[in-house]
Amino acid sequence: MDGTIRILRDITESLREHARREPKQECCGLLAGREGEITRAFPAANVASNPATAYEIASEELFRLTRKIRAAKLEMVGIYHSHPNGENAPSPRDIERAYYPAAIYFIVSPFGDAPTPVRAFAIRDGRATELEIQIA
């Protein structure tokens, strides 16, 4: 990974809209594409016990979305969620629960005045590195 990820503008807008729909709880979902470009978002239900401060995708839904991604001949590239109560940077919990080291973790702000409403991070070995997002 060279520190840059490409994503379609429509996808970043759909992530922001998802975060604004329920601004008091974390939204979440998967991101898919091919050849290093994210072209589709797959929203998921947040089943965390406290969705205001955490996100969790049920394993059944994760499997269902993964099948949809494969059926569309895409690859799972990333996971997204929002931070309704603070900066859209990885929390210690986000870093601890980054179970997919090859995935890019996108964190979305539901706030219209956020300086960078969509941010992307590689999270590996307990460290988060911000990636540059290139809008396609």
For the question of residue 26 being annotated catalytic, the response is yes
Which listed residue (13, 17, 22, 26) is catalytic? Answer: 26
* 8 A C-beta contact, residue 85 and residue 100: no
Q: DSSP code of 63?
A: H
Phi, psi of 27 (to 5 degrees): -90, 165
Phi, psi of 19 (to 5 degrees): -65, -35
User: Which residues are designated catalytic?
Assistant: 26
